[in-house]
């Protein structure tokens, strides 16, 4: 996920940030995992200075927490933050779905269908982390179609934080956006039915929240090197 910073990163630093973000979104690096500058630099073959800039960008995007004298860690949203993130999504995304339905083109429908197809392919391949990332992108794409840039920026950040929340608190596979929910939503969008799209998005986000156990965070797993092996 890109940053809105006015100062773009050097190419190699941006690469590190993008690949770390991808691994976080796909749940290959769990919330709470320490991101050692030395270890990340060794894995990607770049200097600590470039790693530090990448971690600062991820901190700006709220994917990483920088702790004084301790270093960088993948962000670990609290239960309160988790509830607030989904409450914010419930406020923004249903109306955005209505707006998107009023603006849909055949190209938009085809693009959203590709997201669904790729999500299913990832699930069939046993890669739920990638499926979750694609699912989030589906929601961001709806916001793009709605042509509301400021709201899209908010939704993009909320979806990224949702990925961390799901990594911590999901209790069943249904935490992934279920296929029928996206199919039904796409159908309403394609038909230009703003009322149906708005109601389906409300129900869909409620289903997502119900699939989380906001009591018992999952512990971090696997080594950083293993997690980034295919980043």
In this structure, is residue 220 part of a structural domain? Answer: no
For the entire predicted model, the pTM comes to: 0.76
Domain with 68, as residue range(s), is 11-76
Percent with pLDDT over 70 in the chain: 86
In this structure, is residue 106 part of a structural domain? Answer: yes
pLDDT score of 152 more than 60: yes
Q: Does 121 lie in the same domain as 36?
A: no
If you average pLDDT over residues 96-122, what whole number do you get?
A: 94
Residue 52, pLDDT score: 93
Give the closest residue to 221 by CA, choosing from 168, 145, 171, 173: 168
Number of domains in the chain: 2
Output the CA–CA distances (angstroms, integers) from residue 160 to 19, 41, 48, 104, in the order listed: 14, 24, 25, 24
Query: What tokens were used for 5?
Result: 């910073």
Contacts of 14 (CB under 8 A, 6+ apart): 8, 54, 57
Ranked by mean pLDDT, which of 74-78, 85-89, 173-177 comes out on top? 85-89
Quote the CA–CA distance of 227 and 231 in Å, as a whole number: 8
In this structure, is residue 17 part of a structural domain? Answer: yes
Residue 207, pLDDT score: 84
223 vs 2 pLDDT, higher one: 223
229 vs 125 pLDDT, higher one: 125
Q: Does 191 lie in the same domain as 152?
A: yes
């Amino acid at each position: 996920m890109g940053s809105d910073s006015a100062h773009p990163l050097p190419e190699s630093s941006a690469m590190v940030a993008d690949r770390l973000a991808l691994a976080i979104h796909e749940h290959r690096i769990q919330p709470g995992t320490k991101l050692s500058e030395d270890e990340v630099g060794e894995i990607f073959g770049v200097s600590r200075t470039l790693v530090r800039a990448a971690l600062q960008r991820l901190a700006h995007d709220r994917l990483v927490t920088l702790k004084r004298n301790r270093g960088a860690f993948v962000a670990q949203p609290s239960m309160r933050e988790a509830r607030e993130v989904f409450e914010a999504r419930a406020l923004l995304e249903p109306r955005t779905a209505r707006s998107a339905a009023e603006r849909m083109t055949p190209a938009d429908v085809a693009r959203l269908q590709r997201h669904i197809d790729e999500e299913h392919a990832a699930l069939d391949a046993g890669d739920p982390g990638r499926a979750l990332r694609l699912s989030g992108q589906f929601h961001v794409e709806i916001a793009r179609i709605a042509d509301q840039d400021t709201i899209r920026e908010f939704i993009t950040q909320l979806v990224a934080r949702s990925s961390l929340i799901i990594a911590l608190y999901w209790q069943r596979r249904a935490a992934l956006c279920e296929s029928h929910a996206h199919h039904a939503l796409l159908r309403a969008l394609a038909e230009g039915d703003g009322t149906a799209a708005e109601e389906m998005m409300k129900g869909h986000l409620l289903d997502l929240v119900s699939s989380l156990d906001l009591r018992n965070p999952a512990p971090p797993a696997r080594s950083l090197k293993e997690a980034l092996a295919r980043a």
